[in-house]
Amino acid sequence: YRTDYIPLDQIPVWKHPGAASAEPIYKANDELNRKISVFRGDITKLEIDAIANAANKTLLGGGGVDGAIHRGAGPLLKRECSTLGGCETGEAKITGAYGLPAKYVIHTVGPIAHGSVGEGERRALRECYYNCLHTATKNRLRTVAFPCISTGVYGYPPEQAVEVALKTVREYLEEHHMDRVIFCVFLKADEELYRNRLPAYFPQG
C-alpha cells in the first residue's frame, strides 16, 4: 500500500505573477489560465488521467523519466509496450499505467537535438505535445501531465523547448476541451524557465 501518490486536487493551478512579467504573445484568457499547473517533482507520483512519457523509439524502456515510469509501472508496462511496434519521433501511443497512480501512460518520442535545433526538431517536438494531447482527447481523458520532453539525454535546449511546449499547449487548449495540463518539471532551472515564460503564453486577463 503506497501513500506517496499526489492527487490532482493537491496540485495548485498556476498563478500569474502579476506585473513585470514576460511580454504577452497570446490574448489573455483566464479560463485557459486555470487549466495550467507547474509541478516540480516525480511525474510517476501523479494521480491523473495520463502522464506523458519521453520514451525512445523502441518503447521498451530507457533512462531518465522513461526509466522512472517503467520502474513505477512494473513489468506489465514493458509487456504491453512490446506489442506496439515501437514509436516514431513525434508520434504518441497510449498504454495502461499498471502500478502507477495515473490511469494511462502516453508514450512519445522526442527529437534528438544534441544541443542544436532546426525547424525539423522544432516541428517534431511540437508533434510530441500535440499528439499526446490528441491521444488524450481521443480516449476521453481530461487531465495530462508532461515531462520536459527531449531536454534530458536528447539534448534539446530547455529554453527553446519551453517555447514549443507552452505554444503547443496554449493552441491546443484554445480548440479542445481539457481540464488540466501539468508541466511536470524535474529540475529547479526548468521550474524557473516555465514560471518565467508562462505569462507570455497565458497572460493575465
Tell me whether residue 87 or residue 149 sits nearer to ligand ADP (CB atom). 149
Closest distance of CB 27 from ligand ADP, Å: 29
Closest distance of CB 193 from ligand ADP, Å: 10
CA-nearest of 55, 59, 124 to 86 is 59
Half-sphere exposure of 173 (CA within 13 A, CB side): 27
Tell me whether residue 42 or residue 80 sits nearer to ligand ADP (CB atom). 42
Buried b (16+ CB within 10 A) or exposed e, 63-85: ebbbebbbebbeeebeebbeeee
Closest distance of CB 89 from ligand ADP, Å: 10
Burial class (CB in 10 A: 0-12, 13-18, 19+), 138: exposed
Closest distance of CB 119 from ligand ADP, Å: 19
Measured between alpha carbons, how far is 89 from 91 in angstroms, rounded to an integer?
Answer: 6
Is the alpha carbon torsion for 163, 204, 38, 192 positive or negative? positive
Which chain residues interact with ligand ADP by CB under 6 A? 42-44, 54, 64-66, 68, 110, 147-154, 184, 186-187, 190
Tell me whether residue 56 or residue 135 sits nearer to ligand ADP (CB atom). 56
Tell me whether residue 173 or residue 185 sits nearer to ligand ADP (CB atom). 185
Tell me whether residue 125 or residue 141 sits nearer to ligand ADP (CB atom). 125
Tell me whether residue 34 or residue 191 sits nearer to ligand ADP (CB atom). 191
User: Residue 65 in contact with residue 107, Cβ under 8 Å?
Assistant: no
Closest distance of CB 109 from ligand ADP, Å: 8
Residue 162 one-letter amino acid = V
User: Residue 194 in contact with residue 14, Cβ under 8 Å?
Assistant: no
Closest distance of CB 190 from ligand ADP, Å: 6
